[in-house]
Amino acid sequence: AQKITQTQPGMFVQEKEAVTLDCTYDTSDPSYGLFWYKQPSSGEMIFLIYQGSYDQQNATEGRYSLNFQKARKSANLVISASQLGDSAMYFCAMREADNNNDMRFGAGTRLTVKP
Amino acid sequence: GAGVSQSPSNKVTEKGKDVELRCDPISGHTALYWYRQSLGQGLEFLIYFQGNSAPDKSGLPSDRFSAERTGGSVSTLTIQRTQQEDSAVYLCASSPRRSGRGTDTQYFGPGTRLTVL
C-alpha cells in the first residue's frame, strides 16, 4: 500500500507568490516523522523541514512551513514568496518509529516558478 | 563541514559488468542509507547500516546487489552482472543517530548516475 501520496505531479507558481504542495500519508504507528526534501535539476536531495507526529506546532523554516493536519494525515508544504531558485522536484517522506530503517518517499511534485 | 560525498558522479557500463559505487558519509554519522531513483520517480530504499549492527538489506532488489560498510564509515554498493533496468541514480544518505521516535534527518549525497548500455 502506498504510504506517501503526492497528488500533484506538477505545479506552477508566479514568482513572489505562495504555493502549497500536498502530501498525505498512511500509518498506524503513533510515532513518526515527516520530512520534505527539495531536489533541483542537479540531483542532490536537500532537506527542508521536519515535523514530528507529537509536535504541537506546525514546523517552520524560513520561507518553508508545514501545514500538519494529523487527523487528516496530511503534511502539506507551504513555500511563501516563491523565488526562481525554488523550481525543483519536492519530495515528501515519512519514517515510522517502529520501522526506523525505511524512509518512504512520495512520487514527488515538480514545482516551476514563473517570472 | 563536509557533506555526504559519492563517487563516481557518473558511471556508464556495459550490460553484464560489475560496478562499485562509493559513499563517504558525514563524519560521526552512525547511520547510512542507500536509495535508488529511477528517472522521474521517487526514491526506493535499498539498504541501511547502523553502527556495527547487521545491515537491513530488505530493500535490495536482487542478489546481484550487495553493500558493505567498512569501519563504520565508507560504504560501497556493488551491483554484479548489471542489467539495463539497473540504470538509475543511486543516492546515499547519512544521519547522526538513531532515534526511537523516527526523527532522524537524513543528509543526502549528490548521487551516482548509473547508465547500463
Report how far residue B14's alpha carbon sits from residue A40's, in angstroms, rounded to the nearest whole number: 28
Query: Whose grid coordinates read 535539476?
Result: A41
**Distance (Å) from the alpha carbon of B102 to chain A's nearest alpha carbon:** 4
A37 has a chain B CB within 8 A of its CB: yes
Size of interface A-B (CB pairs under 8 A): 76
CA-based nearest residue to A107, from A86, A88, A92, A87: A92
Measured CA to CA in angstroms, residue B90 lies from A9, B96, B109 at distances of: 22, 21, 9
| Whether pLDDT at B56 is above 90 | no
For every residue of A60-106, DSSP letters joined together read: EETTEEEEEETTTTEEEEEE-S--GGG-EEEEEEEEEGGGTT-EEE-
Cβ atoms of residues A13 and A104 within 8 Å: no
pLDDT of A1: 55
DSSP state of B71: G
A105 has a chain B CB within 8 A of its CB: yes
Residue that wins the pLDDT comparison between B14 and B42: B14
Q: What is the pLDDT of residues A77-99, one digit of tens each?
A: 999 999 999 999 999 999 887 76
pLDDT of A19: 98
For A49-68, what is the mean pLDDT?
Answer: 94
Q: What is the pLDDT of residues A21-33, one digit of tens each?
A: 999 999 988 888 8
Amino acid (one-letter) located at A47: F
Of A54, A91, A101, the CB nearest to B42: A91
Cβ atoms of residues A37 and A21 within 8 Å: no
Q: Do A96 and B45 touch (CB under 8 A)?
A: no
Q: What is the pLDDT of residues B24-34, one digit of tens each?
A: 999 988 889 99
For every residue of A35-55, DSSP letters joined together read: EEEEE-TT---EEEEEEETT-
Report how far residue B94's alpha carbon sits from residue B103's, in angstroms, rounded to the nearest whole number: 13
Q: What is the pLDDT of residues B67-94, one digit of tens each?
A: 999 887 899 999 999 999 999 999 999 9
Rounded to 5 degrees, what angle do the CA atoms A41, A44, A47 make? 115
Of B35, B91, B105, the CB nearest to A47: B105
The residues, any chain, with a CB within 8 Å of residue B117's CB and separated by 6 or more, are B12, B13, B14, B15, B84
